[in-house]
A and B are shown apart, each in its own frame.
Chain A
């Protein structure tokens, strides 16, 4: 229990003194989660839109598959990605193991189903009148997709925030694929795992609080984008 308080004080200390290994972990976490989020959004938003908007026979089945992918444990994803990018594996020659890029690949696999499923739900619940209105005003197919996505932007924002939270806080992929190499692939979450494993609980708490502070800052920025 006492490590909670010492952890809190330690967190302040790490942040204020700009401890370089902490900031390196922060930078690594932010770098890799931002890249994986951008890719997941770029691919997931149109896919989610298609899944929510169009009616086709395999729709329910695909939706069920996507929802099932939401339950993938991160260690499992890490293991599968490792199997592909290990030196002996099919993608071994690209040297992706123990790199942030490798972690990003795993995190995209983690975040993509979240973005797709939540976007599809948002689009399904779209007002009927929206389509009528847009077509009445002369929207073509592309206008329709773009404007619909913009109209439901608050729902999409929620999807992005959810996915981002999941990606920032995962350990399984970062550990398995990244290897927790100091200065290179040590993220905040793997650093927490390391400190906890060493029994340095206060350090673990400290890093956890740093992570929460960052998440808080991100969410504050996001809330400015929300109008109502």
Chain B
């Protein structure tokens, strides 16, 4: 008889899960693809309730690498994109996969390194810094994973006229995420390039024992521009284009701009709204 009560309890528990836990809500939905780094900042969770309150649209998003996000748009699996890879985005629009590109905000990348700055690059501009790192063979840690951030790093080398030290011994490619890469840099007392959001988290986690600090910042080329792109309805007849446009308009609007500017990650300001 004990058996039966156990089975009944399990069934009741399972049934209650179905009823008491949040599931799909009726109403207008909008499916978005964005990048993991964007999602990890928590900005979207902060903005979503406000967006739904103002427009009645239920925004759902999946976070992946930049490449996959763009691919999801190409395959019509999502309705709108929020990404930060301007040159890839421009090609995207040109090839007809996206429409109505709206710049909404930016944050930045920084070069960080050991507190005592053995290579002496603090305060320099990016071009000088990279040239110096190369000439001194200073340890530099790269993500090496073809992510948006990694592509940005490779672009920096290119724009500084320095050849990417692909095979060099002092150039370490981790193939991993940003935090892991920073940890490797800290271990090995090397330099690396990171987005400001992850850096803030890193400092917050480690507190006083953090070994790395900002060395180079502020160059125009270090800017990380975020844009909203609607999936092109000519390419994807079923996509919810008008809702995507409403999202883009909202993100560019005054309310969103205020919200974005007020957003704090662990007490530090992260994004700067720049919709025109």
Please give the residue numbers on chain A whose beta carbons come within 8 Å of chain B beta carbons, in ascending order: 20, 23-24, 26-28, 30-31, 34, 86-88, 92, 97-98, 179-184, 194, 197-199, 221, 224-225
Q: Which of B18, B24, B63 contacts A184 (CB 8 A)?
A: B24
A179: nearest residue on chain B (CB-CB)?
A: B62
B63: nearest residue on chain A (CB-CB)?
A: A180
In the complex, which residues of chain A have a beta carbon less than 8 angstroms from the beta carbon of B179? 198-199
Q: Is the CB of B77 within 8 A of A87?
A: yes
CA distance A180 to B191 in the complex (A): 33
Q: List B1-52 residues whose CB lies under 8 Å from chain A.
A: 2-3, 6-7, 9-10, 14, 17-18, 20-24, 31, 36, 40, 45
In the complex, which residues of chain B have a beta carbon less than 8 angstroms from the beta carbon of A86? 75-77
Q: Is the CB of B36 within 8 A of A31?
A: no
B177 at interface by CB-CB < 8 Å? yes
CA distance A88 to B2 in the complex (A): 51
Q: Is the CB of A182 within 8 A of B45?
A: yes
A186: nearest residue on chain B (CB-CB)?
A: B62
In the complex, which residues of chain B have a beta carbon less than 8 angstroms from the beta carbon of A179? 62
CA distance A20 to B20 in the complex (A): 11
6 contacts between A and B (CB under 8 A): A180-B62, A183-B23, A197-B177, A198-B40, A198-B179, A198-B201
B60 at interface by CB-CB < 8 Å? yes
Q: Is the CB of A183 within 8 A of B61?
A: no
- If A24-B22, A86-B75 touch, whether A98 touches B2 (CB-CB below 8 Å) is no
Q: Is the CB of A221 within 8 A of B6?
A: yes
Q: Is the CB of A31 within 8 A of B6?
A: no
Q: Is the CB of A225 within 8 A of B3?
A: yes
Task: Report the minimal beta-carbon distance from B265 to chain A, rounded to whole angstroms.
Answer: 12
Residues of B within 8 A of A (CB-CB), count:
33
In the complex, which residues of chain A have a beta carbon less than 8 angstroms from the beta carbon of B17? 26-27, 30-31
B236 at interface by CB-CB < 8 Å? yes
Task: Report the minimal beta-carbon distance from A139 to chain B, rounded to whole angstroms.
Answer: 25
CA distance A221 to B62 in the complex (A): 35
Task: Report the minimal beta-carbon distance from A90 to chain B, rounded to whole angstroms.
Answer: 13
CA distance A184 to B62 in the complex (A): 11
Q: Is the CB of A224 within 8 A of B6?
A: yes
- If A27-B17, A31-B18 touch, whether A197 touches B40 (CB-CB below 8 Å) is yes
B76-108 vs A, Cβ < 8 Å mask (1 yes, 0 no): 110000000000000000000000000000000
In the complex, which residues of chain B have a beta carbon less than 8 angstroms from the beta carbon of A27? 17, 20-21
CA distance A28 to B23 in the complex (A): 9
Q: Is the CB of A87 within 8 A of B10?
A: no
CA distance A86 to B76 in the complex (A): 8
Q: Most B CB atoms within 10 A — which of A31, A182, A221? A: A182
Q: Is the CB of A23 within 8 A of B21?
A: yes
Q: Which of A23, A98, A198 contacts B77 (CB 8 A)?
A: A98
CA distance A88 to B239 in the complex (A): 12
CA distance A24 to B60 in the complex (A): 15
CA distance A186 to B21 in the complex (A): 13
New contact pairs (15) apart from A27-B21, A98-B62, A197-B177, CB-CB < 8 Å: A87-B75, A87-B236, A87-B238, A98-B31, A98-B60, A181-B60, A183-B22, A184-B24, A198-B40, A198-B179, A199-B177, A199-B180, A221-B9, A221-B10, A224-B6
Q: List B84-135 residues whose CB lies under 8 Å from chain A.
A: none
Task: Report the minimal beta-carbon distance from A12 to chain B, rounded to whole angstroms.
Answer: 20
Q: Most B CB atoms within 10 A — which of A97, A180, A199, A221? A: A199
B205 at interface by CB-CB < 8 Å? yes
CA distance A87 to B71 in the complex (A): 12
CA distance A205 to B20 in the complex (A): 26
Task: Report the minimal beta-carbon distance from A216 to chain B, rounded to whole angstroms.
Answer: 14
Q: Is the CB of A224 within 8 A of B76?
A: no
Q: Which of B14, B31, B45 contacts A30 (CB 8 A)?
A: B14
Q: Is the CB of B40 within 8 A of A34?
A: no
A223: nearest residue on chain B (CB-CB)?
A: B6
B41: nearest residue on chain A (CB-CB)?
A: A198
Q: List B214-247 residues whose CB lies under 8 Å from chain A.
A: 236, 238
Question: What are the 9 tightest A-B residue pairs by CB atom distance, in nearest-first order?
Answer: A179-B62, A27-B21, A199-B179, A87-B76, A27-B17, A198-B40, A87-B77, A224-B6, A88-B75
Task: Report the minimal beta-carbon distance from B71 to chain A, rounded to whole angstroms.
Answer: 10
CA distance A183 to B18 in the complex (A): 13
B64: nearest residue on chain A (CB-CB)?
A: A179
Q: Most A CB atoms within 10 A — which of B17, B62, B177, B238? A: B62
